Structure 1
Amino acid sequence: MPPFLPLQGIKGVGPKRAAILAEAGIRSIADLYDCFPRRYLDRTTIKKISALRDGETVTVVGSVTGTRLEGSGGRGGSRFKAQVSDGSGVLELTWFRGVHYFSKAIHAGDLVAAHGRVTFFGRTPGMQHPDFDKLGGDGEASDDGARDDELYKTGAIIPIYPTTEAMKQAALNSAALRRIVHRAFRDQPLRITEYLSREIVESYDLMPIGEAYRQLHFPDSAEQLDRARYRMKWSELFFAQLFFALRRAGERRNIASARFERSGAMTAGLHERLPFTMTGAQKQAVREIYHDLKSGHQMNRLLQGDVGSGKTLVAQFAMTLAVDNGLQAAFMAPTEILAFQHYAGLRHTLEPLGIRVALITGRQKKKQREDQLARLEQGEIDIAVGTHAIIEAGVQFHRLGLVIIDEQHRFGVLQRKALQEKSENPHVLLMTATPIPRTLTMGIYGDLDVSVIAEMPAGRKPIQTRLCRDEQKPELYKLLRKQIAEGRQAYIVYPLVEESEKMDLKAATESYEQLRLEVFPELRLGLIHGQLPAAEKEAVMAEFRGGGIDLLVGTTVIEVGVDVPNATIMVIEHAERFGISQLHQLRGRVGRGEHASSCFLVYTKLAGDAKERLQALASTGDGFRLSEIDLQIRGAGNLLGREQSGAASGLKIADLLTDGEIMRSARAAAFELIRRDEALSLAENARIRDYYENYFRKRISLADVG
């Protein structure tokens, strides 16, 4: 299809509608064909109201039995409600935004389709701000002679198109858009050249592209629609993975790194000093990293592991191997507390082997810092541990061979790049304690090798997690006193939310004073938060680690890496304000020693997403399972673009969360293709190369930065 064939050649699209469609990204007939339905009304997939369950996302079709406008629009705001019945029960739809529009558009007697998340209020199911479509409500038939309500009654599959508020205001609802698409197909038949090679189409049993477009917009059957959706998802994921495969091939072709020739006395000494047996997953991760470091190609590997799974030990083996080969290693951590803790741990483990470890932070005294930097540049320091201070211009290495970045998602792209530029092509190991489902990892980190530590060290006791209402805190405080009397220590953590950080910090500080003076006057309490000077933060943590503080009150500054084996109780205040990942990280600060540990999630009000999050935490300690639940609640995020959370994924039709099998198939095809034809120069791959360069690469250009 010529890319700029104007929409105004289609009946029903005048200048005003064309401008509104252009704002939504539909500027040509080609764009119109690429405006895929967001879902389909298929009578076999509609849920009866009587069968609805709290928290599920469903589509319901029914008749509007009544409407009402509540509130005056003053301080309390107004809302519009519509009751929908399908004969089995009544569902209440509520809108707080767009009240004027919906109150004019929805009337008793309308046949409607509502799609959204179900929430029960008492025994009555409801949806707030559902996706909403009237079926044939404007009385206009499509050019095939059928209205949406008639099509639904005959069991046809009806495409539901995405619409914006501006489109709805111009009467461009889903039914109107369906009519426009139908006319485009009739008057400007789709002419599209297959952009995959014949070998790929046949090998993977893919529907031809032209037929896939037609079936997506006007499915003949559920089976044909499934094949068309599979083809479109497979193609989209194939080109996304092709991007990663080409980038990986380019790096391997153009970037050589130091080849680690041997595993020497220091590495052997580290093995001998281990007071425990490594898990199978740790051993496998070490083997994978050793293979990379000995290959002569630059290592770019992500080490994923749940809280407490032993990632740091794996990193120690990598750093020791670097030193055995006459190279230096840099270890960057996101906070000074975590950097100091890693520094102390590395010194304890590695200095007896003769490995020289130094700490570099922004808060060091000038003389101490100058001395450290001089020794680093002269090669008298083997491992430099630090915060972002380690990437500053004055920091020079003698022979940097390995860069390790802990909690890598906390650093910006440019910060990571600055550390890598401290040497010519150092090997790079990224670490994260935020588990990511494997399918999603392929989508975000497609050009990285990934090692996963999915098992916990032997003897690690599960943490008991309980939900606790605010009014139950007196009983919780009794339990805290009992545990502390038995020699244990505890945390109480308060949230800091960016929009109200000053107020939150004030509330946390005031709560600390109340706890110290009124609730636990007999105990030794400490306070820690991000506004404290670095030296004071470390002094508080050192006192807590040494047993001089019974109860540490703080903000999420203790979220990552704080390791005090004697701390056995974690109390998280206002837990409903935290995300799943943060709650899981905080919970991981206990359960690190020989004693049984507990985490209490204290809440004031529990509903909707917050209820799901806290119940998920209470049901499992598996971080990978929790990350899947989190993605189901929040969406995968625009992982190939700018957004990092929400429903948008940067992909038009594929879903990184649910299309794992398709992703694996498409990834295998893309990497195999580049293995055989690294530059896509063979004649049979010309169409793939042209489509990738002229169309797909523009869509994911931001992944170059990420």
Structure 2
Amino acid sequence: MFHDPVDVIPSVGDKTKEQLELLDITKVGDLLFHFPFRYDFFELKPINEIQHDETATIQGQVVSEPNVSYFGRKKSRLTCTLQVGVVAIKAVFFNQAFLKDRIKKGETITVTGKWDMHRLQITVQQLQPKSFNEDQTIQPIYHSKGNLTTKQIKKLVSYALKSSLEEVEEMLPEKYLIEYKLPSRRQAIKELHQPSSKTALKHAKRRFIFEELFIFQLKMQWIKSHNRAKSKGSSKVYDKQLVEQFIRSLGFTLTNSQNRVLEEILNDLKQPYRMNRLLQGDVGSGKTIVAAVALYATYLSGQQGALMVPTEILAEQHEESLKELFGDLLNVELLTGSVKGKKRRERLESINNGDVDIVVGTHALIQDDTLFKDLGLVIVDEQHRFGVAQRKTLRDKGLHPDVLFMTATPIPRTLSITTFGDMDVSVIDELPKGRQPIETYWVKENMMDRVRQFMVSEVNNGHQAYVICPLIEESDQLDIQNAVDVYEELQEELPNHINVGLMHGRLNAHEKDEVMRSFAENETQVLVSTTVVEVGVNVPNATLMVIYDAERFGLAQLHQLRGRVGRGYHQSYCILLADPKGDTGKERMRVMTETTDGFTLSEHDLQIRGPGDFFGKKQSGLPEFKVADLVEDYRALEVARRDAVDVLKHNLLENDPEYKQLKVLIESDPKIQERIFD
């Protein structure tokens, strides 16, 4: 029966079949895995144990005739008195006048609703069936489509349990069932649909949380293992002492975090397989230095390195800082869309014949006419800005360099394990010594005069300021500040010696570069901008960030914007202008003022927004689980990942018959084929 079409069930006609198909239920067995999305718990408690405003279930004898009063259009209020032990309580039913004929004086009824301990009153949400007893205290609620009801789905699931449950095969080896005290797959399915107790339901959920996360992590580790085995990477041989000598020459000491990450990356470079690593580091944590050391080790091995960034001005800044770091040790060149004509031809020739050791650039690095002599390492900064297809272009050219992706977006460990599970992940989680935490304040619009005075004070002390607005121009729909208005307002109200610049997404690339250059060179002291500066240039002299309508931004974006200041050794400030109406907005402002740690913020953001919204629905690539929750079940995710790594390490999918089902499931997944190298 398990694989039979769903319309073999006697009560399923054409219409019901269509509605079930909308829920991806086409076979009888599919019903077994259409799990309830929540449960209503009806636990009978003594009156004195129920908290005020708690949703409670109460059983009592009706001691007064039900009375209905009408008010407004189609609105009603039904009341009756229940005797519960020695206490008389009032039961109130809003807009349920039809229940009057079902409630009889002298009968015992069970109701669920909100308890008011001060008035000894329950506002009833649900009248339980007359046959209600303690065994019915957990009621599953299912997602449904069309006219399908939870009651109908329950009946269909009940049929499937009787006819098909015995055909369900166990997916997990016995080792995990014993070690984690998990029920069998069949037991867990039955308990999820027809819970016998809260404890049994909890263990059934634990079983499927582990199964879902374990299978997902197995797929991620399988992709990683497969790609590593197939990769045509080359083992880099370099003089370790020269690398250490270069690190000592930097003029500052690397943080423990930077040293740990460097060790991981340098170890990867020595391996015969291709590196596929993500480097996470908060804004200003020193990722560029780590990248420079990795590029230097690649140069010592006799190969070229490339650093790809999203914007021209960022490319120019990286080129400048790398030239400063390396001096005459090696040759660093820039390749962007602005390098044209004879200069471009000469530079391409130098790259092709190996005269250039490190190339810094934008998408120009992956154009057809860019040919390397021996490309050993590609570092992609702000990796989410580049598509998979663009990164794949390097491989299509016949190049198989080690690849290091870098991001300043702090990603919670839970999402990092999930989204980048097929990559190695390194994290820089401390700031360089001497950096002062950015002081963050949340103020209302009526404080704007004081904010402007503070801005003038910072500029008079030789510093600069960013002012961020959500919109470019005025909107009739949204009552929020816009960049053009704020720019004109500040030009008028700030002293004449303060130059104000304007930056937004409608400027072309050349115009943006000019605006940013003017700001970077302190020709402009105050830059009014939209969020296009979120990932951008390094201006150590900027010490003040003012964000209008800050409640309109997520925590991750606010943190990225705040990270534009505090790049030097001067005390920096971030001022959030916001008047949030809802609790979520107020919570964001509170968290922003309490911590400057990006990873702490990202965890808060994950809790507030949920995993689907953290990266954005379309590009997240996050899996959809039936039972597991990435936020709540992060400990199970860690365990599942550890076990999955162990399975691949000991080749259990190939060698142990108990893993046969898992092997078939993984190898038959079409999505896996999209993520493996040819």
Question: Is TM > 0.5 for Structure 1 vs Structure 2?
Answer: yes
CA–CA distance in structure 2, aligned partners of residues 659 and 511 of structure 1: 45
Residues 408/640 of structure 1: CA separation in 2 closer, same or farther (3 Å cut) = closer
* 2:11 matches 1:22: no
Question: In 1, Cα distance between the equivalents of 2:453 and 2:563?
Answer: 23
Give the structure 1 partner of residue 650 of structure 2. 676
Q: Does structure 2 retain, via aligned residues, the 8 Å contact 1:390–1:419?
A: no
Say if 1:674 and 1:680, in contact at 8 Å, map to a contact too: no
SS in 2 for 1:491: strand
SS in 2 for 1:261: coil
> 1:405 & 1:444 partners in 2: Cα distance?
17
In structure 1, how many angstroms separate the alpha carbons of the residues matched to 2:491 and 2:305? Answer: 43
Whether the aligned pair in 1 keeps the contact of 2:468 and 2:529 (CA below 8 Å) is yes
Which amino acid in structure 2 is aligned with residue 238 of structure 1? F
Is the counterpart of residue 692 in structure 1 residue 666 in structure 2?
A: yes
Shift of 1:3: 2.4
CA distance in 2, matches of 1:44, 1:284: 52
Matched, 1:312 2:288: yes
Match of 2:106 in 1: none
Aligned to 1:578: 553
Give the secondary-structure state (helix, strand or coil) at the position aligned to 1:430.
strand
Q: Which SS does the other structure have where 2:611 is aligned? A: coil
Any idea what the Cα deviations from partners look like across 1:225-263, whole Å, max 9, x if unmatched? 121111111111111111122222222322231211123
2:269 paired residue number = 293
Distance 2:437 2:380 in 1: 28
> Does the alignment pair 1:254 with 2:254?
no
Query: Which one-letter code corresponds to 1:374 in the other structure?
Result: E
State the SS of the aligned residue for 1:585. Answer: helix
2:472–2:483 CA contact under 8 A, matched in 1: no
Name the structure 2 match of 1:377: 352
Offset at residue 268 of structure 1 (A): 4.1
Instruction: Please say if residues 640 and 650 of structure 1, whose CA atoms lie closer than 8 Å, have aligned partners that are also in contact.
Output: no
Shift of 1:538: 2.9
On the 8 A contact 1:496/1:504 being kept in 2, the answer is: no
Q: Which residue of 2 aligns with 1:611?
A: 586
Measure how far apart 1:195 and its partner are: 2.3
The residue identity in structure 2 corresponding to 1:440 is L
CA distance in 1, matches of 2:592, 2:551: 11
8 Å contact kept, 2:653–2:660:
no
SS of 1:680's partner is helix
Preserved contact between residue 639 and residue 650 of structure 1 (Cα < 8 Å): no
1:196 aligns to what? 172
**Amino acid corresponding to residue 245 of structure 1 in structure 2:** Q
Aligned in 2, Cα 1:504/1:607: closer, same or farther, shift over 3 Å? closer
Alignment of 1:131-210 (within 5 A): 135=126, 150=132, 156-164=137-145, 166=146, 170=147, 172-210=148-186
Give SS of 1:326's match. coil
What do the CA deviations read for 1:560-589 (whole angstroms, capped 9, x no partner)?
A: 242222211100112122221111001011
Aligned to 1:545: 520
**Cα shift at 1:330:** 1.1
Partner of 1:99: none
Correspondence for 1:666: 640
Q: Does 1:362 align with 2:362?
A: no
**Which of 365, 384, 388 is the equivalent residue of 1:409?**
384
Per-residue deviation at 1:218? 1.3
> What's the CA shift for 1:495?
2.1
Given the alignment of the two structures, is residue 441 of structure 1 paired with residue 440 of structure 2, yes or no?
A: no
* CA drift at 1:154: 6.1
SS of structure 1 residue aligned to 2:376: strand
Contact persistence 1:559–1:585 (CA under 8 A)? yes
Which stretch of the first structure deviates more once superposed, 321-330 or 630-639? 630-639
Q: Cα offset for 1:23?
A: 1.1
Residue type of the alignment partner of 1:236: E
Determine if contact 2:226/2:676 at 8 Å carries over to the other structure. no
1:486 maps to 2:461: yes
> Would you say the 8 A contact 1:444–1:639 is kept in 2?
no
Say if 1:497 and 1:204 are closer, same or farther in 2 by CA, change over 3 A: farther
Partner of 1:98: none
Mapped partners of 2:291, 2:182: distance in 1: 43
The alpha carbon displacement at 1:66 in A equals 11
CA contact (8 A) 2:550 2:576 kept: yes
1:598 Cα deviation from its structure 2 partner: 1.0
State the Cα distance separating 1:682 from its structure 2 match.
4.1
When residues 653 and 67 of structure 1 are mapped into structure 2, their CA distance, relative to the original with a 3 A threshold, is farther
CA distance in 2, matches of 1:693, 1:105: 58
Distance of 1:544 and 1:531 partners within structure 2: 18
| SS of corresponding position for 1:248 | helix
TM score, norm. by length of structure 2 = 0.84
Aligned equivalents of 1:363, 1:81: Cα separation in 2: 73
Match of 2:84 in 1: none
* Percent of pairs with identical residues: 37
Cα pair 1:638 1:644 within 8 Å, conserved? no
| Native 8 Å contact 2:474 2:482 kept in 1 | no
CA distance in 2, matches of 1:333, 1:538: 14
Deviation sequence 1:80-112 (CA, Å, 0-9, x none)? 99999xx99999x9xxxxxxxxx9999999977
Matched, 1:517 2:492: yes
State the distance in 1 between where 2:29 and 2:561 align.
49
Residue 37 of structure 2 corresponds to which residue in structure 1?
Answer: 38
Q: Cα gap change, 1:622/1:50 in structure 2, threshold over 3 Å: closer, same or farther?
A: farther
Secondary structure of residue in 1 paired with 2:546? strand
Q: 1:612 to 1:684 in 2, by over 3 A?
A: same
Q: Distance between the aligned counterparts of 2:497 and 2:650, measured in 1?
A: 72
- Residue number among 550, 553, 562 corresponding to 2:537 in the alignment: 562
C-alpha deviation, 1:289, in angstroms: 0.5
Q: CA deviation at 1:455?
A: 1.2
- Deviating more after overlay: 648-657 vs 398-407: 648-657
Q: Distance in 1 between matches of 2:197 and 2:3?
A: 29
Flag the 1:670–1:552 CA change in 2: closer, same or farther, 3 A: same
Q: What SS does the aligned partner of 1:637 have?
A: helix
1:432-511 matched pairs, under 5 angstroms: 432-496=407-471, 507-511=482-486
* 17-26 or 362-371: bigger deviation: 362-371
Cα-to-partner distance string for 1:140-185 (whole Å, 9 max, x where unaligned): x9xxxx6xxx36x766222121234x2xxx1x33344223322432
What displacement does 1:318 show? 0.5
Q: Which moves more between the two structures, 248-257 or 426-435?
A: 248-257
Do the aligned residues in 2 keep the contact of 1:525 with 1:549 (CA within 8 Å)? yes
Q: CA deviation at 1:667?
A: 1.8
Indicate the residue corresponding to 1:117 in structure 2: none
Residue type at the aligned position of 2:295: M
| Letter paired with 1:666 | A
Q: Figure out how many residues of one structure are paired with residues of the other and give that number.
A: 641
CA distance in 1, matches of 2:30, 2:623: 19
Alignment-derived partner of residue 3 in structure 2: 3
Report the Cα distance in structure 1 between the residues aligned to 2:582 and 2:487, rounded to whole angstroms. 28
- CA displacement at 1:479 relative to structure 2: 1.2
2:196 is matched with which residue?
220
Q: Distance in 2 between matches of 1:609 and 1:197?
A: 43
Task: Provide closer, same or farther for how the CA distance between residues 515 and 206 of structure 1 changes in structure 2, counting only shifts above 3 A.
Answer: same
Give the drift of 1:518. 3.5
CA distance in 2, matches of 1:354, 1:274: 13
Does the CA-based 8 Å contact 1:49-1:90 persist in structure 2? no
* Contact 2:166–2:186 (CA under 8 A) maintained in structure 1: yes
356-365 vs 520-529, which deviates more? 520-529
Q: Is the 8 A contact 1:49 1:88 kept in 2?
A: no
Residue of structure 1 in register with 2:63 after alignment: none
Task: Tell me the C-alpha RMSD between the 2 structures.
Answer: 4.0
Which digits, 9 at most, give the CA deviation of each residue in 1:3-26, with x for residues without a partner?
234245154x33222211211212
- Cα shift readout 1:586-640 (whole Å, capped 9, x = no counterpart): 1011112222211111125432433332222122111111111111122112999
Whether the aligned pair in 1 keeps the contact of 2:435 and 2:566 (CA below 8 Å) is yes
Which letter maps to 1:525? V
Deviates more, 1:196-205 or 1:24-33: 196-205
Distance of aligned partners of 1:69 and 1:544 in 2 relative to their CA distance in 1, 3 Å threshold: farther
CA distance 1:407–1:161, shift in 2 (3 Å): same
**Does the CA contact (< 8 Å) of 1:469 and 1:603 recur in 2?**
yes
2:40 alignment partner AA: L
State the distance in 1 between where 2:605 and 2:72 align: 35
